[in-house]
A and B are shown apart, each in its own frame.
Chain A
Amino acid sequence: MITPLIIATQTVVNEQDVVTPFEQALLVGLVFVIMFGLGAGLTPRDFKLALKRPYGLIIGFVTQFGIMPVLAYLLIITFLFQLEPEYALPVAIGALLMGAVPAGTTSNIFTYFSKGNLALSVIMTTNSTLWAILMTPLALAIFGSLLFTQESEFQIPVVNIVVTLATLLIPVVAGMILRRYSANIGAFMELLGGFFGLFFIVFLMATWVPRNWALLTSTPWQTYMVAIGLGLFGIFIAYFLARAIRLHPANARTIGLETGIQNGPLAIAIVLLTFANDPNIGLILIVPALYSLFIVIVSTFVTIWFRRANTAEEQKIPNLL
């Protein structure tokens, strides 16, 4: 246990090492487009539906805002808290945030490829994004109070996060309004949003990874464990839970992917907007950034496994259009 501690102390990083102002602006811009695209796929009816039939989506809700924050909490106390607090606490903030944000739009793409229930995936993403304004701060407050004691210098600025989430809902609303004005532009933005969701990851890989290579190589394995485990365990716990209550395998696959795949870009944007002046922003960003990178790899393998395990069931029509 000595080695990681030493490495951790050596890698105290500052903001400039992690994201440049240009990257920061670009990432936030991308998130706005992604959220705009999400909004462009929404109608007032969807809100009505989310409120009218919360029980229909209850399993998704439970896994999304129940399992994921708990899983993040367990991973943090099991792995991160082996490390010295100066390093572990800011990283833990990012990790907990990662567990508390809603589902990401990329889950729809992986659901499509793993022959899941695309309609369910879309509705779950929508639903969890809408509930996030309430549930994300709530999860952060509950688990934050367990992780960070009153005396600790690290506190989660719950109010700021609510403000950030509300800010990020502006493009969602703008997307909805634009969609009403022109269904064509709405559908176009919806596609573009999904595309940017993937582009975001590519962007991270192409610019952020090489420049932060030293940081990545010196990051202790516990942090990787948290960043990768969150997605991987999240998918499988939700999948087997859904199977256990005898849901159709296609729906179970969907719920698994939907639960494990969090909105990484959203978490990063929240960090960038909420902790802009925090000297620890670099550490807070580590888990969201690593998570966003590895979830693509994890989801790809899971998708391949899902496809192999379920070749019998076919989803016939590719309905991207």
Chain B
Amino acid sequence: MTQRPWLPHYADDVAPDLGEVTFSHLPDLVRASSSEYASTIAFTQCMPNGMNGSLTYAQVDALSDDFAAYLREVVGLAQGDRVAVQMPNCLAYPIVAFGVFKAGLVLVNTNPLYTPTEMVHQFTDSGAKALVVIDMFADRLPEVLPKTGIETVVTVRIAEFFPPVIAGVIRMVQKYWNRTLPKVTVAHTTFQSALPAGREKKTSDALTGYLTGIGHDTVAALQYTGGTTGVSKGAMLSHGNLVSNTLQMIQMCGGYMRPGLETVLTALPLYHIFAFTVNLLGFYKLGARNILIPSPRPPSNLKRAFENYKITWVTGVNTLFNALLNERWFLDSPPRHLRASAAGGMALHEAVNVRWEEVTGTPIVEGYGLTETSPVLSFNPFGPNEKPGTIGIPVPSTELKCIDDAGNEVAPGTPGEIAAKGPQVMLGYWNRPDETAANIVDGWFRTGDIAEMDADGFFTIVDRKKDMILVSGFNVYPNEVEDRIAALPGVLEVGVVGIPDDKSGEAVRAYIVTSSDALTENTVIAHCRETLAAYKVPKSVRFVDELPKSPIGKILRRELRAEAVTSATASIETQGRELS
């Protein structure tokens, strides 16, 4: 047992251990909430213009039963078969995801923006037999399906379960105005015909039977990760992982999450593990109303949701919070009912943290986790114990430690790789025992993130191990430099990377998206000189229109670096900033 110096720092109403988990699997948790909050609205999907549709807890429960029966009885899938799901946030998503779990099948979340190559990799690697896909993206299927084992395709519409006239209008706009509705040329079943087909075959005995033998250690989802580093691999998340992490997260928030009273804005995609566990599972467990946003970009797409619903919780990434803080409508009337916000997925810049609390008058806590850990490992305790700028302390029943390259725990205050142990740590990587063995050693999962633990047990992320820049032998952590630059007025977004340099091996370069003409390379460098050691100060600054981002808005340093290297070899350097 490692030391747990964080134990005294949980908020007063938070127990440091999870206790016995009474739900034996995810369907258990879903059914318990569904009957407790039956007539409450569970999900509302809000389009950018305010058009919306809603489902109650009872409806979600019944419809996901229908879909489970469809998958087992009509499609004929067997327990443990994989079902790929590829759609943006919409009302069909929870029904499909819960239906897959209730059928005793394995969910394979898939990014709708994937290219055919990425889709083929994920579908073949996971061995998916069925695919539930949004019709907007079905045009890639003729190219993809023959290369995979997928036999059944179910198509879903974006405005599923909306009032009929509104759904019709949205469809017409998609078809004739935006022209984003391709013809589906492969054999498929529509969601609206799959549900009644399942309902017909549904019996309560059958529904119970699907879950025979399913327990905490059964795989519930294959969550693909590593897309930003190399070959994408599936993290096997079990029912026990996801149920535990849901409960750990809720327990950690104490009184800030009131059962039956919250309304949460879900702008991050549910196919991403952060929104999946925190928003879909966590807030469903709580009996909250989930406001689903199909597309959070541009941020003005969120305006109607903030106007029409009394949002009490927002979950997001730094990019989202920052984008909202640059919207005039948001600044002029910040959400009045907001109680708290949670940031994850990437480092929350301190400037954004401070501004958010200033503008909304409510706390924002930064959490930390990875796909492989379901994802939540730690976050800041709400209340007086919070330490801004840190990722806080481990959630209940979780241990974290910083280790050196040899695997030994380092002293507090010394940077080391975070290793984690807890009920949320994945079973392993799907079909990759070597990768699993390399990353889970003696029950400790190695995260690849460098952090320091202070004497109170609070962790501060220094950086990703692989993002570290080596300037003449000195370690520069991009986060630290980005944090300083983000504090400059006029900086909308910033990404810092290392580029090859003849003299120092690597040199620091900042890519900045700015709203101000006054910002120049010199002002940025001068500003960094004030607070950073010389070797950390960017050697060059590039002003760009946009930074490459992952689907949840995480800035992709790897692509920036690739861009920097290509442009250097081709000797094409942008001449300062362009005016128009």
Please give the residue numbers on chain A whose beta carbons come within 8 Å of chain B beta carbons, in ascending order: 43, 45, 48-49, 52-53, 56, 119, 179, 183-184, 186-188, 190-191, 246, 248-249, 312-313, 317-321
Complex A-B, nearest 5 residue pairs according to Cβ-Cβ distance, in ascending order: A183-B50, A187-B50, A187-B49, A187-B51, A45-B333
Contacts of B47 in A (CB 8 A): 187, 321
B165-A188 in contact (CB<8A): yes
Contact of A183 among B169, B178, B304, B580 (CB under 8 A): B304
What residues of A have a CB within 8 angstroms of the CB of B165 in the complex?
188
- Of B250-258, B294-302, B370-378, B457-465, the one contacting chain A is B294-302
Q: Which residues on the A side are within 8 Å of B174 (C-beta)?
A: 321
- Closest-by-CB residue of A relative to B307 is A43
Asked whether, in the complex, the Cβ of B178 is within 8 Å of the Cβ of A318, the reply is yes
Smallest CB separation, B300 vs chain A (Å): 5
Give B324-349 interface residues, CB cut-off 8 Å to A.
328-329, 332-333
Residues from chain B with a CB closer than 8 A to the CB of A48 are 332-333
The minimal Cβ–Cβ distance linking B323 to chain A, given in whole angstroms, is 13
Chain B nearest CB: distance from A294 CB in Å?
A: 25
Instruction: Give B40-55 interface residues, CB cut-off 8 Å to A.
Output: 46-52
- Tell me which residues across on chain A come within 8 A of B517, comparing CB atoms: 246
Docked Cα-Cα span, A191 to B52, in Å, equals: 14
In whole angstroms, how far apart are the Cα atoms of A43 and B49 in the complex?
A: 13
By beta carbon, the residue of chain A nearest B180 is: A318
Q: Is the CB of A321 within 8 A of B48?
A: yes
Residues of B within 8 A of A319 (CB): 48, 298, 300-301
In the complex, what's the smallest C-beta–C-beta distance from A55 to chain B, in angstroms? 12
Q: Which chain B positions have C-beta within 8 A of A320?
A: 49, 173, 177-178
* Secondary structure type dominating chain A contacts: helix
Q: Measured between alpha carbons, how far is A318 from B295 in the docked complex, in Å? A: 11
Q: Which residue of B lies closest to A120 (CB)?
A: B328
Contact B300 A186 (CB under 8 A): no
Q: Which residues of B have CB within 8 Å of A321?
A: 47-49, 51, 170, 173-174, 178
B50 near A45: Cβ-Cβ < 8 Å: no
Cβ of B307 and Cβ of A191 under 8 Å apart?
no
A312: B residues at CB distance < 8 A: 580
Q: Which residues of A contact B295 (CB under 8 A)?
A: 317
Report how far A52 CA is from B333 CA in the complex, Å.
11
Q: List 10 A-B contacts (CB under 8 A).
A: A49-B332, A52-B332, A119-B300, A184-B166, A188-B165, A191-B49, A312-B580, A313-B580, A321-B170, A321-B178
On whether the beta carbons of B51 and A45 are closer than 8 Å, the reply is no
Within 8 A of A (CB), among B358-403: none
* CB-contacts of B308-334 with A (<8 A): 308, 328-329, 332-333
| Mask of B67-87 contacts with A, CB within 8 angstroms, 1/0 | 000000000000000000000
Over the window 257-276 of chain B, the binary record of Cβ atoms lying under 8 Å from chain A Cβ atoms (1 yes, 0 no) is 00000000000000000000
Nearest-Cβ distance from residue B256 to partner chain A, whole angstroms: 26
Residues 140-195 of B at the A interface (beta carbon under 8 Å)? 162-163, 165-166, 169-170, 173-174, 177-178
> How many angstroms from the CA of A187 to the CA of B50 in the assembled complex?
6
> How near does chain B come to A52, taking the closest CB pair, in angstroms?
6
- A56-B328, A184-B51, A187-B47 known; 7 new pairs, CB 8 Å cut-off, are A52-B332, A183-B304, A184-B50, A184-B166, A187-B49, A191-B49, A191-B173
The answer to whether A249 and B580 touch across the interface, beta carbons within 8 angstroms, is yes
- A157 shortest CB reach to chain B, Å: 37
CA distance A54 to B402 in the complex (A): 54
In the assembled complex, the Cα of A320 lies from the Cα of B174 at a distance in Å of 9
Q: How far is A317 from B296 in the complex, measured between Cα atoms in Å? A: 11
B198 to chain A, nearest CB (A): 28
Enumerate chain B residues within 8 angstroms of A313, measured Cβ to Cβ.
580
Contacts of A49 in B (CB 8 A): 328-329, 332-333
- Give the CA-CA distance A42 to B549 in the complex, in Å: 33
Residue among B48, B50, B165, B295 with most chain A CB within 10 A: B50
CA distance A196 to B163 in the complex (A): 23
B-side residues, CB < 8 A to A, are 46-52, 162-163, 165-166, 169-170, 173-174, 177-178, 295, 297-298, 300-301, 304, 307-308, 328-329, 332-333, 517, 580
Residue in A closest to B172 when the chains form the complex, CB atoms: A191
B267 to chain A, nearest CB (A): 14
Chain A residues with Cβ below 8 Å from B298 are 119, 317, 319
State the Cβ distance, A184 to closest chain B Cβ, in Å.
5
How distant is the Cα of A312 from the Cα of B295 in the complex, in angstroms? Answer: 24
Chain A's closest residue to B332 (CB) is: A49
- Asked if A188 and B169 make an inter-chain contact with CB atoms under 8 angstroms apart, the answer reads yes
- Tell me which residues across on chain B come within 8 A of A317, comparing CB atoms: 295, 297-298
- Give the docked Cα–Cα distance between A266 and B154 (Å): 48
Q: Which residues of A contact B308 (CB under 8 A)?
A: 183
Contact of A45 among B49, B169, B177, B307 (CB under 8 A): B307
| A191 CB contacts on chain B under 8 angstroms | 49, 169, 173
Q: Which residue of A lies closest to B174 (CB)?
A: A321
List, in ascending order, chain A residues with CB within 8 A of B178's CB: 318, 320-321
Q: Which residue of A lies closest to B304 (CB)?
A: A183
Contact B332 A188 (CB under 8 A): no
Q: What is the bound-complex CA distance between A210 and B174, given in angstroms?
A: 35
Cβ-closest chain A residue relative to B158:
A321
Contacts of A187 in B (CB 8 A): 47, 49-51, 166, 304
Q: How far is the CB of A142 from chain B (nearest CB, A)?
A: 31
Among residues of B, the one whose C-beta sits closest to the C-beta of A310 is B580
B177 proximity list for chain A (CB < 8 A): 318, 320
Please measure, in the bound complex, the distance between the C-alpha atom of A283 and the C-alpha atom of B495, giving whole angstroms: 62
With a cutoff of 8 Å between Cβ atoms, the chain A residues found around residue B173 in the complex are 191, 320-321
Could you say which of B295, B300, B580 has the most chain A C-beta atoms within 10 Å of its C-beta?
A: B580
In the bound complex, do residue B49 and residue A53 qualify as a contact, i.e. CB atoms below 8 Å apart?
A: no
Contact A183 B52 (CB under 8 A): yes
Give the shortest distance, in Å, between A93 (CB) and chain B (any CB). Answer: 38
**CB neighbours of B52 from chain A (8 A):** 183-184
**Complexed CA–CA distance, A319 and B295 (Å):** 10
**Nearest CB in chain A to that of B166: its residue:** A184
Q: Which residues of B contact A45 (CB under 8 A)?
A: 307, 329, 332-333
Partner of B51, one of A43, A183, A318: A183
* Complex interface: chain B residues within 8 A of A53 (CB): 328, 332
- Complex CA distance for A186 and B304, rounded to whole angstroms: 11
Q: How far is the CB of B324 from chain A (nearest CB, A)?
A: 14
Given A53-B332, A320-B178, answer yes or no on A188-B51 (Cβ-Cβ < 8 Å). Answer: yes
Inter-subunit contact B300/A188 (CB<8 Å): no
User: How many Å lie between the Cα of A43 and that of B162 in the bound state?
Assistant: 23
Neighbouring A residues of B332 by C-beta, 8 Å: 45, 48-49, 52-53
Shortest distance from the beta carbon of A13 to any chain B beta carbon, whole Å: 39
Closest-by-CB residue of B relative to A319 is: B48
Cα–Cα distance between A183 and B300 once the two chains are bound (Å)? 16
A185 (CB) vs chain B CBs: closest residue: B166
- Chain A residues near B333 (CB, 8 Å)? 45, 48-49
* A243 closest partner in B (C-beta): B580
| Docked pose: A126 CA to B165 CA in angstroms | 27
Contact of B166 among A43, A179, A188 (CB under 8 A): A188
Nearest to B299 among chain A residues (CB) is: A119
How long is the Cα–Cα vector from A56 to B331 in the complex, in angstroms? 13
User: Which residues from A are CB-within-8-Å of B329?
Assistant: 45, 49
> Cβ of B297: which chain A residues have Cβ within 8 Å of it?
317
- B300: chain A residues at CB < 8 Å are 119, 319
Tell me which residues across on chain B come within 8 A of A190, comparing CB atoms: 49
- How distant is B46 from chain A, measured CB to nearest CB, in Å? 8
Report Cα–Cα, A183/B44, bound state, in Å: 12
A56 to B46, CA, bound (A): 29
Q: How far is the CA of A290 from the CA of B109 in the complex (A)?
A: 56
Closest Cβ of chain B to A236, distance in Å, is 18
CA distance A28 to B576 in the complex (A): 55
